[in-house]
Structure formats: C-alpha cells, structure tokens
Structure 1
Amino acid sequence: MRKDINIPEVKDVYVAAVKEFNETHRTDDWNAYIINDLEQPLELVLIVSNGYNEKKTTSQMRHKLQVLPAKSFAKIEFIEDSVLELTNEFAVTYFLDGKMFEKKFIFPGGSINDKNKGPVPSMLKEGVLAN
C-alpha cells in the first residue's frame, strides 16, 4: 500500500541556520529559517524540530505557516548554543499545487558553525544549509 503513495521530491526549499546579531541581548545567535526559493508560494507549512544524540534528546517544537510566499523565507526558531553539538532535525511538510511534499532536513551534530557558512538562497546572507 505505501509503495502506491507518491510523495514528490522537494526542490528549492531549504532549512538554513544563520548567525545574526541580536540587538536586545548584544549577542551573535544562530537562528533556523525555512526558505522558499520557488516561484510559487508554499501553503500550510508544518515544521517539527528536535535535537538528539546518543545521550540527549530535546523536546519537539512545532511550527506552522499558513503561507510562505515565493522567493521568501521565515524564521523558524532560535538555536541555543547548547544544542549545536546535537543532530538537529527539521521535518517539513507543505502543500504546493495541491500536492503534499515532505522532507527531513538534518544538521549533523557540530555542523552549525562559522567554518561551514556559505551563501543561503533568497536571503542574501551566509549560513549553514541542512542536508
């Protein structure tokens, strides 16, 4: 039965960790963003995030966006320094042209750091893209 379900491949949608200066706390913080680099909006975007390794697991966080416009991005959450050592997973589900898409975006433990930064689509900033 499951083999009969066709879930299309996710293209031009990304999750990125971007280091930004926080004016309020006067600190450099990592923030997770979802990026829509498509020419069409994404509808009913659902994101479930958590971090884990062999010894620790964080609580799951759930996020919802009714619409993510074309060629845009939205902040998902702040990434606390203590979870950077963990594998951070973002399970993303959305609708596009009446079809459901889903993908797990993963930052391996320790991969969110300055040496791994590169250009981030649609943001005109540097950050780390999830696998």
Structure 2
Amino acid sequence: MVKKRDIQRPTEGELELLALLWERGSGTVRELYEAVNLKRDVVYTGVLKLLQIMADKGLVERDERERAHVYRAAVSQADTEVRFLRELSERFFSGSAAQLALRALEMEKSSDTELEAIRELIRKKEASRNN
C-alpha cells in the first residue's frame, strides 16, 4: 500500500479520470474511455495506459477479479483538493489561504447559497479562534 505522503500529484489527464471515478465510484477502462470520449477524442489504449500509471502512483486501485478490470480512486477528492489548494496558496499567496480565497471571490460572481456558505465558514473560524 502506498503511503499518503508518497502519492504523487496527479496530472491534468489523471485528474480527469479521478473526477469520473469520484463521481461514479468505480469504472472499467471501457466505461472511463467512453466518458472521456464524450468531451474529447481519446484512444482506448491511452486511457488504459494512464490508469496503469495511476495505479503505479497509488492514485487508483484495480480490482482484477473480473475479466474487465474495475478501477476506483485510491485518493479522496477532498484530500486532493486540499493538496492542490495548499500548493497554490504556497506558490502564489505566500501560504495565505485568506488571500487565495479573496482572489477566488474576485474572479467570479457567487450565488447567494455560496455566499451564505462562506459566511458560515467565517463564523465557524471566528468562533474557534475565540475559544
């Protein structure tokens, strides 16, 4: 088993397959190939090779009990998002998550639901700071 710290950062193509696996739970090479092919042209062997590389990196797990191997994500979406955001924050915002959040809010309009979720997070952060 690959340790969490030893897992390499996924590439853009790997993230595309991980997103499908996070959404679906699992999938065969054929199912993943067909899903990616709806968005852009890919070759079956390219998806297969990428999944093999991802298995070697510890990003996916492969169930070989059936003829068609079934893949599932070995890393969680939340852990992957946190890792990327931490790297982004360190590289561009001197490690300031607040500056990263402010820049993100400036980029796009936010829905009322999103703004309320942000307010709730701020309230929780303030409450934990005051305790």
**Scaled by the length of structure 2, what TM-score is found?**
0.22
- Structure of larger gyration radius: 2
**Scaled by the length of structure 1, what TM-score is found?**
0.22
Which structure has more relative contact order (CA 8 Å, sep 6+)? It is 1
